[in-house]
């Protein structure tokens, strides 16, 4: 159970870190937003810490991102902090994901990569809204990424089920349907602000994160 929970956290943290790094380095953000974004990285540091027992290589991004966060200003600033450390942490995060997939097979690894997009995008969206980001494009792009990632998850689960023996495949039908149903519900809640043409609310995104996290956990439990 802890292995599945840690795998979900790992994929979410890695995906969110990639998005936040992109916003920090390429986004047109004011000094106040930059400082709030630096604070958001501490949530990812905590996430890496949780996954260390499951993936010892997570200690590398945990340490490097922790140093980056310590050396970055949390108030108004035009400085992005020690950027090389952030790049190094991103690379270590990818390494931690790949090493956690060693011995699992191709399909479980592909499933984890799709969860990096799915869980990572909703996690990043939560953190961006909490940081009061004014980059409106991400409020539209991230839910679209979630829809694509949910479709990739469905395809991966379908292919994985087809490769199993009939009895084993039948035993996983309920889990697969539950995972897809939860993922669909989570994405609908996530994208609901687009249908209403309003700004996303943190409560809405947190509910979506919980539902999508559960969907990811069920999906990974069928493969790992």
Map out the domains of the chain as residue ranges.
2-223
Distant-in-sequence, close-in-space partners of 196: CB < 8 Å, separation ≥ 6: none
Residue for token pair 């943190």: 202
Instruction: Kindly state which CATH superfamily the domain 2-223 is placed in.
Output: Formate dehydrogenase/DMSO reductase domain (1.20.1630.10)
Which residue positions in the chain have pLDDT lower than 50?
none
Q: Considering only CA atoms, which of 222, 214, 160 is closest in space to residue 187? A: 214
At residue 196, the pLDDT reads: 85
Q: Nearest 10 degrees: CA dihedral of 51, 57, 62, 68?
A: -150
Q: How far apart are CA 17 and CA 92, in angstroms?
A: 12
- Asked if 14 contacts 216 with a C-beta cutoff of 8 angstroms, the reply is no
pLDDT tens figures, 147-176 = 999 999 988 888 877 776 676 667 677 888
Look up the pTM and report it.
0.93
pLDDT tens figures, 186-201 = 999 999 988 888 889 9
């Amino acid at each position: 159970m802890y292995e599945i929970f840690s795998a979900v956290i790992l994929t979410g943290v890695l995906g969110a870190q990639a998005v936040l790094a992109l916003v920090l380095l390429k986004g047109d953000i004011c000094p106040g937003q930059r400082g709030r974004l630096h604070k958001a990285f501490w949530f990812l540091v905590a996430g890496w810490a949780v996954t260390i027992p499951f993936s010892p290589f997570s200690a590398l991004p945990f340490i490097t991102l922790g140093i980056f966060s310590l050396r970055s200003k949390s108030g108004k600033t035009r400085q992005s902090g020690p950027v090389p450390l952030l790049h190094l942490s991103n690379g270590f995060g990818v390494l931690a994901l790949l090493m956690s997939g060693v011995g699992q097979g191709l399909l479980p690894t592909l499933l984890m990569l799709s969860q990096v997009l799915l869980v990572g995008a909703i996690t990043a969206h939560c953190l961006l809204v909490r940081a009061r980001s004014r980059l409106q494009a991400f409020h539209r792009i991230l839910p679209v990424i979630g829809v694509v990632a949910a479709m990739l998850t469905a395809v991966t689960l379908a292919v994985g089920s087809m490769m199993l023996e009939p009895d084993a495949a039948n035993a996983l039908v309920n889990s697969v349907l539950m995972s897809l149903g939860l993922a669909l519900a989570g994405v609908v809640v996530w994208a609901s602000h687009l249908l209403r043409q309003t700004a996303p609310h943190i409560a809405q995104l947190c509910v979506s994160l919980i539902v999508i996290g559960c969907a990811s956990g069920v999906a990974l439990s069928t493969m790992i």
